[in-house]
Amino acid sequence: MRVPEEEIGISVYWTEGAPGIGGKLKKSPEDFVVDEISVFPPEDPNGDYTAAVVLHRNWEMNRLVRRLGTNLRVGRGRIAFAGTKDKRSVATQLMTFAAPPEAVATIYILDVEFLRIYRTRVSTALGSLYGNRFRIVIRDADTTDLEERVETVGAGIEELGGFPNFFGVQRFGVVRPITHLIGKAIVQGDFERAVMMYIAEQADSEGDESKEARSFVLETRNFEQALRRFPKNLVFERTLLGHLLERPNDFPGALKRLPRNLIMMFVHAYQSYLFNQILSKRIERKLPLDTPLEGDIILPLDKHGLPNQRRQIRVNSSNISLASSKLREGKGFVSGSLFGADTAFAEGEMGEIEHEVVENEKLKASDFIVPEIITASSKGIRRELLAPVRDLRWRIVDSSAFFSFELNKGCYATSLLREYMKAGMMSY
């Protein structure tokens, strides 16, 4: 799958002058291995929850949770995880279940394995992780001066102290990169458009049966016939259709039948699209990512060494020297807006960029309060512009480049690797 990056708000590279190596990501799931750096709840033999380290291959997160719930005979709300992993990958991550360890241990699902199981009193929650470790292979790279190209890009990344913290294409849907467009429709109050886009928008890589079903429902709006035509594996599309069959024109109600994290993801993806535009424009203006300007808002580190998004410090003429010193020491990050109902704008040049992006989309803060679907509402937050990389290593074997590194939570490996690939599109 090749996704034009402009469609998700990305229009620039940090290492623009360094030639890329091209190539392809994820030719197989084994080419993209991710291990979560988890926050493990304490073990307690009297706890009501079961914690487990779960290894899964080529599983989309919502479908995995649904399958686990079916096997355990519990609702999806009784299964929790800290981070959403790439579908086309081999991933390990912590999950918790409101079910006994004996039941979890008996689960058998193809390409799913439980590496550790124990009782605890505490359920995990979305975001309760420190980061992820990656082992990734770029295949079919341009072999012309391959090592030199990798070294040149790597030098630029090292000099900056990281890479632009763009949201990767996975945030928007790899097969159908429309998640942000659905989120836009939701904040605009156009729930019918959001539902129909999710049901009817086609992807080139889909099978004929799926394409025909999507075309049929778009052209006819016959939800009863469409439900018969949609493949069984398109579970969430069928959920929407089933609701509309019972309650025609109740499009907000149909969306509320989807998993809570999926509803949230629609609006979060739209916020991510806005952030990508803001970050692109800052780079295009040749403004620094690692040094604060007057008007910027910086995020200091929390006790775990991660950006503290709850503590925001405005940079002005009186504190800019101290702020610059702290960032040089690696004790904070310049931030950009993930615009929502209660998000602070920067001032100065960064403020101009943020206002420009939001105004171009004809948005106001109150749009992100969605009374019809309260779980779609979002206060917004600020996000670090720079993603630090730890323990970055690489080696070349023929036309393949092997990388290993560690990132903070919320940072995308694909956003690092695009600097090396310079493909103009992310290639999967």
3-state secondary structure 113-182: EEEEEEEECCCCCCCCEEEEEEEEEEECCCCCCHHHHHHHHHHHHHHHCCEECCCCHHHCCCCCCCHHHH
| Spans in the chain with pLDDT lower than 50 | 1, 427-428
Cα 15 from chain centre: 23
Q: Clarify whether 86 is annotated catalytic.
A: yes
pTM of the model: 0.94
pLDDT for position 1: 44
Q: CB burial class (10 A; 0-12, 13-18, 19+) of residue 43? A: exposed
Selection from 337, 295, 288, 286 nearest residue 313 by Cα: 295
Selection from 26, 37, 54 nearest residue 136 by Cα: 26
Q: Do 44 and 120 form a contact (C-beta atoms < 8 A)?
A: yes
pLDDT for position 3: 60
Which percentage of the chain shows pLDDT scores above 70? Answer: 98
Three-class DSSP category at 2: strand
Our CA angle for 63, 64, 65, nearest 5°, is 90
pLDDT for position 322: 96
Our CA angle for 135, 138, 143, nearest 5°, is 135
CA 144 – CA 33 distance, rounded (Å): 27
Cα 330 to Cα 298, 324, 342, 351: the distances in Å are: 12, 10, 28, 23
Catalytic residue among 31, 35, 48, 86: 86
pLDDT tens column, 312-369? 999 999 999 999 999 999 999 999 999 999 999 999 999 999 999 999 999 999 999 9
Tell me the chain's radius of gyration from C-alpha atoms.
22
pLDDT for position 205: 81
Max CA pair span of the chain? 67
Contacts of 17 (CB under 8 A, 6+ apart): none
pLDDT for position 425: 52
- Provide the strand spans (E) within 301-388: 313-314, 332-338, 381-384, 386-387
pLDDT for position 299: 97
**Alpha helical stretches, state H, 247-398:** 251-256, 260-284, 320-328, 348-360
pLDDT tens column, 272-294? 999 999 999 999 999 999 999 99
